């Protein structure tokens, strides 16, 4: 009864949390289509949802525990397969309600016979997979699903090459405006032929000025279709149109083009593709690695949005202590696979289970956070998910690209990438020392969870029926069982493998405060102090190592660093929407997710151009490819906000750099030949940021230019160029590689002060600058007086209409 009461209280609390503020289930604002659905989720919504979920799960577990047999626990998490033993009559294999339910649901012939101890096909099948499968199948299943999810998110979601631009739609030119039907408000247009497509009533029809290179910003008005005859179309204006719509159509003498789709729309197929495939964020695993957001937030002294996700996972791990490591972490699962495939066959490097290394992870965590305090972000080198992400990126992405799209699409590998690959292999090879050596002793992300375990509400407990058989110690993947068979609570991941092999069913996973029928501790003696194995000695030495290592890392990084304040220092072109360079270096976790998301590998990992400080950060290699105008994937997937998540509207205005024409090599400037590749490319992408200038014009004796001399050379319009690099890519592809005319691109994207927009927040869309005074007044259409055919009426006439024969003063 007590459990039911507490469960009810918890449910009410969960409901209260959900309702708090009233906006927990508030309607999300209409998200831009170029961002995934969860872009509008606020941190408080996420946190409240999680907290309520956790409370409800605990409440549900308590209700279930109420139906358990012979237990005083508040709740229990048992999800292992109990070791098979002969049952006496009336005895049940499982005490838990869920366990009994499973036995009732699963067909009897698949189950083991507990009176004869004969194993059923289910157990035999799992045993065939391995001992850990047959003892804790749920955990292995979750691990597999988790790794698979990681791989799908990485290799399928971030593979946008099936995206195709929307078809242009039908278009019909030469329509003249006829009249506004003043009764209905419909606009009628007359054409030479019928509309080439049949819109449904209410469907949008776009009316625009005819397409022409001479009209940079054509008028486009959206109408909804009403009806059409052979050569007449009737269109209704949008709901609350402005009165200037009349001016546009009544006072114009030109013709109009009717289009099925907005002729001025900006393509968004790549952004939509990545956004649409993300049923969960592509960077899910990165944002739930708490070290990623924690260290970034400390290093940059700013709010990092993924801190919310870290809080969510830590909250969940209060229920399942270090469950992230045991169940979710794709690096852990990969290491498990490596240990299974390689590690167990090579025994010569094995070390003991106890040594100075057992606490490395805490000191690594301390060192990492210490570096972050000094503004140096090294967590990307050692945190679990960045390590596996980069491993997948540098080892398997080239394979995927090469096989699926051709090996010429694989960018060359630099020294930094080899180092990352080496680090990934080293992490795997640690498995030769002991299985999951990395996870147990080294991983600083795991250390965060270990510390989080201090707040655990559930725990592995050993009952007094323990017979000291040591099977649990042998199977424990995390070295979390002391010699007395009780739990090293900071290390236990609740994987439950131990319970599955326990011959006496002495192990249970229940609330932390359960003290019923427990085994006596320190029997046999463990020799462990309150600080764990190694005690003070390791604390002192480890702290010294952490402080020393951190100061060396900080010193080296800053001494051979990016020199952000030095105007002459190397300034790489960063992805669109990157925060200012100093903050960027403090926030970029170097996980490599943006490289994977970037179509055509425009983003490539930096080597040592900025010393250690810029290693593996993304830079735009425009010699390789240019930034696609319809893509905002890098911002969508950045886990720390170093690249801001921008809707396409913003991204297309965010300047990454500025194209600079080298006037000594550019073919027309150098007088070597006609070339307009960069202009074509820029216009095709829709930026129209490069125009022509006639250069090398010869002047005749009369001072007039000689027609036909000179060449049209490219001039970059600084207020329109966003530095996408498409021009540079094209110049390299044709003039450098195909034709061999140049040694390097004659148009190059450069970053630096005044050439790029680097903002922590706010819009990139440029406000139109106030016009020069002359343009605001209309006297610039000046007609010399002797030519004016209609002299203005005298100014002293009254303004109001008067009863005269000539009201218009003609």
Partner 1 sequence: MRRLYRDGLGALALVCCVCTSTAAAEDLIEFLNGSTATGTVKSIRKADREFDFEMNVGGRTFTRVFPFNKVHAVTYRGNRFELTPKVAADAAAEGSEGRSEAEVKALIAAAGATPPDWFESTPLDYPKTLDLSWPLKPPTPGWKSHKNMGQYIWSVINENPPRWRSGIKLIHHCVSLHQDDPVLLKRDMNALGSAYFRLMQDYARAAFWYQQGRPDMTTRDGIQLAECYWRLGNREMALKRLRRGPVNIGAIKLLGDMGELAWALRLTERYQNTNFDYQANILAADALRGAGRLDEALDYYQRVLDSKNFRNEDYKQRFLARARESMETIRLYEQADVSQVADGTYRGSSTGYNGKLTVAATVADGRLEAVKVVAHKEKQFYSALTDTPAQLLEKQSVRGIDGTTGATITAQAIVNATAQALAEGNQ
Q: What residue ranges bind partner 1 (CB under 8 A)?
A: 176-180, 182-186, 212-216, 243, 246-247, 249-254, 674, 676, 688, 691-695, 697-699, 703, 705-706, 708-710, 712, 715, 771-772, 774-775, 778-784, 787-790, 792-795, 797, 799-801, 807-810
Q: Smallest gap, in angstroms, from Cβ of residue 449 to partner 1?
A: 58
Kindly tell me which of 190 and 400 has the beta carbon lying closer to partner 1.
190
Q: Smallest gap, in angstroms, from Cβ of residue 17 to partner 1?
A: 49
Kindly tell me which of 105 and 795 has the beta carbon lying closer to partner 1.
795
Kindly tell me which of 116 and 776 has the beta carbon lying closer to partner 1.
776
Q: How far apart are CA 450 and CA 465, in angstroms?
A: 28
Q: Smallest gap, in angstroms, from Cβ of residue 770 to partner 1?
A: 11
What DSSP line would sit under 214-244, residue for residue?
T-SS--EEEEEEEEE-SSEEEEEEPTT--TH
Kindly tell me which of 71 and 257 has the beta carbon lying closer to partner 1.
257
What DSSP line would sit under 388-434, residue for residue?
HHHHIIIIIHHHHHHHHH-GGGSPPP-HHHHHHHHHHHHHHHGGGTS
Q: Smallest gap, in angstroms, from Cβ of residue 244 to partner 1?
A: 8
The residue among 425, 435, 426 whose CA lies nearest residue 353 is 435
- Classified as helix, coil or strand, 505 is coil
Kindly tell me which of 515 and 787 has the beta carbon lying closer to partner 1.
787
Kindly tell me which of 180 and 556 has the beta carbon lying closer to partner 1.
180
Q: Smallest gap, in angstroms, from Cβ of residue 558 to partner 1?
A: 42
**Radius of gyration in angstroms for the set of CA atoms belonging to the chain, rounded to a whole number:** 35
Q: How far apart are CA 268 and CA 78, in angstroms?
A: 48
**Token digits for 70?**
């012979």
Residue 139 to residues 95, 187, 328, 575, 801: CA-CA distances in angstroms? 20, 66, 9, 39, 89
Q: Smallest gap, in angstroms, from Cβ of residue 674 to partner 1?
A: 6
Please say whether the beta carbons of 413 and 624 come within 8 A.
no
Kindly tell me which of 422 and 696 has the beta carbon lying closer to partner 1.
696
Distance of CA 780 to the CA centre of its chain: 52
Q: Smallest gap, in angstroms, from Cβ of residue 579 to partner 1?
A: 32
**Token digits for 421?**
């690959």
Q: How far apart are CA 152 and CA 158, in angstroms?
A: 9
Provide φ and ψ at 463, rounded to 5°: -90, 170
Q: Smallest gap, in angstroms, from Cβ of residue 777 to partner 1?
A: 10
Q: How far apart are CA 447 and CA 443, in angstroms?
A: 6
Q: Smallest gap, in angstroms, from Cβ of residue 776 to partner 1?
A: 9
Question: What is the helix, strand, coil percentage profile of the chain, to 5?
Answer: 40, 10, 45
Kindly tell me which of 188 and 636 has the beta carbon lying closer to partner 1.
188
Residue 243 to residues 177, 224, 501: CA-CA distances in angstroms? 16, 17, 80
Q: Smallest gap, in angstroms, from Cβ of residue 366 to partner 1?
A: 57
Kindly tell me which of 698 and 750 has the beta carbon lying closer to partner 1.
698
Helix axes of 384-391 and 415-429: crossing angle, nearest 10 degrees: 120
Q: Give the torsion through C-alpha atoms of 466, 467, 471, 472, to 10 deg.
A: 20
**Token digits for 126?**
């799992």
Residue 753 to residues 571, 717, 750: CA-CA distances in angstroms? 10, 17, 10
Q: Smallest gap, in angstroms, from Cβ of residue 664 to partner 1?
A: 17
Kindly tell me which of 34 and 257 has the beta carbon lying closer to partner 1.
257
Kindly tell me which of 530 and 783 has the beta carbon lying closer to partner 1.
783
């Amino acid at each position: 009864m007590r459990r039911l009461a507490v469960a009810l209280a918890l449910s009410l609390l969960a409901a209260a949390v959900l309702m708090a503020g009233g906006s927990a289930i508030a309607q999300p604002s209409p998200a831009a289509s170029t961002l995934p659905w969860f872009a509008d989720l606020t941190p408080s919504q996420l946190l409240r949802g999680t907290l309520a979920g956790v409370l409800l799960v605990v409440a549900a577990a308590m209700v279930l525990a109420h139906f358990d047999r012979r237990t005083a626990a508040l709740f229990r998490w048992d999800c292992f397969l109990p070791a098979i033993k002969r049952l006496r009559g009336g005895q049940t294999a499982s005490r838990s309600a869920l366990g009994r339910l499973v036995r009732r649901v699963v067909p009897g012939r698949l189950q083991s016979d507990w009176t004869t101890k004969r194993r059923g096909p289910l157990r035999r099948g799992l045993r065939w997979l391995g001992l850990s499968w047959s003892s804790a199948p749920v955990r292995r299943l979750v691990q597999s699903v988790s790794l698979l999810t990681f791989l799908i998110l990485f290799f399928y979601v971030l593979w946008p090459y099936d995206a195709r631009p929307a078809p242009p739609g039908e278009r019909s030119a030469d329509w003249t405006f006829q009249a506004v039907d003043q009764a209905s408000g419909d606009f009628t247009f007359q054409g030479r032929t019928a509309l080439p497509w049949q819109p449904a009533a209410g469907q949008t029809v776009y009316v625009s000025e005819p397409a022409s290179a001479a009209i940079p910003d054509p008028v486009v008005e959206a109408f909804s279709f009403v009806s059409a005859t052979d050569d007449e179309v009737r269109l209704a204006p949008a709901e609350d149109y402005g009165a200037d719509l009349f001016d546009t159509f009544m006072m114009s003498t030109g013709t109009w083009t009717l289009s099925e789709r907005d002729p001025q729309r900006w393509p968004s197929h790549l952004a939509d593709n990545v956004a649409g495939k993300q049923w969960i964020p592509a960077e899910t695993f990165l944002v739930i690695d708490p070290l990623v957001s924690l260290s970034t937030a400390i290093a940059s002294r700013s709010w990092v949005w993924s801190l919310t996700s870290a809080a969510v996972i830590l909250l969940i791990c209060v229920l399942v202590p270090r469950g992230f490591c045991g169940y979710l972490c794709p690096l852990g699962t990969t290491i498990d696979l490596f240990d299974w495939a390689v590690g167990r066959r090579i025994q010569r490097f094995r070390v003991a289970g106890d040594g100075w290394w057992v606490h490395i992870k805490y000191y690594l965590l301390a060192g990492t956070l210490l570096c972050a305090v000094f503004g140096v972000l090294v967590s990307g080198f050692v945190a679990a998910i960045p390590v596996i992400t980069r491993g997948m990126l540098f080892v398997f992405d080239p394979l995927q690209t090469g096989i699926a799209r051709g090996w010429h699409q694989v960018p060359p590998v630099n020294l930094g990438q080899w180092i990352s690959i080496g680090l990934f292999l080293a992490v795997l090879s640690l498995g030769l020392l002991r299985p999951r050596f990395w996870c147990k002793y080294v991983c600083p992300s795991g250390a965060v969870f270990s510390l989080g375990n201090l707040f655990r509400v559930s725990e592995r407990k050993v009952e007094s029926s323990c017979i000291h058989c040591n099977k649990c110690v042998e199977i424990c993947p995390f070295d979390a069982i002391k010699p007395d068979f009780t739990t090293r609570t900071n290390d236990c991941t609740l994987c439950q493998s131990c319970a599955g092999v326990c011959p006496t069913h002495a192990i249970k996973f229940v609330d932390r405060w359960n003290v019923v029928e427990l085994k006596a501790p320190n029997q046999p003696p463990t020799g462990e102090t309150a600080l764990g194995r190694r005690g003070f000695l390791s604390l002192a030495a480890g702290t010294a190592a952490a402080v020393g290592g951190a100061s060396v890392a900080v010193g080296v990084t800053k001494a051979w660093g990016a020199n952000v304040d030095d105007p002459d220092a190397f300034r790489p072109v960063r992805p669109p929407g990157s925060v200012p360079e100093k903050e960027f270096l403090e926030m970029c976790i170097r996980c490599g997710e943006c490289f994977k998301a970037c179509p055509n590998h425009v983003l490539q990992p930096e080597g040592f151009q900025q010393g250690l400080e810029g290693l593996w950060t993304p830079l735009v290699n425009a010699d390789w490819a240019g930034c696609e105008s319809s893509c905002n994937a890098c911002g969508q997937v950045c886990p720390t906000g170093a690249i801001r998540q921008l809707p396409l509207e913003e991204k297309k205005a965010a300047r990454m750099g500025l194209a600079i024409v080298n006037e000594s090599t550019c073919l027309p400037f150098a007088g070597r030949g006609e070339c307009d590749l960069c202009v074509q490319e820029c216009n095709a992408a829709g930026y129209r940021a490069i125009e022509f200038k006639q250069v090398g014009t010869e002047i005749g004796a009369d001072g007039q230019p000689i027609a036909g001399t000179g060449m049209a050379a490219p001039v970059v319009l600084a207020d329109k160029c966003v530095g996408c690099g498409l021009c540079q890519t094209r110049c390299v592809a044709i003039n450098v590689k195909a034709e061999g005319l140049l040694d390097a691109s004659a148009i190059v994207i450069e970053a630096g002060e005044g050439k790029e927009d680097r903002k922590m927040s706010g819009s990139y869309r440029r406000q139109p600058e106030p016009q020069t005074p002359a343009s605001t007044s209309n006297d610039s259409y000046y007609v010399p007086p002797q030519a004016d055919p209609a002299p203005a009426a005298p100014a002293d006439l009254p303004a109001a209409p008067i009863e005269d024969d000539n009201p218009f003063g003609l």
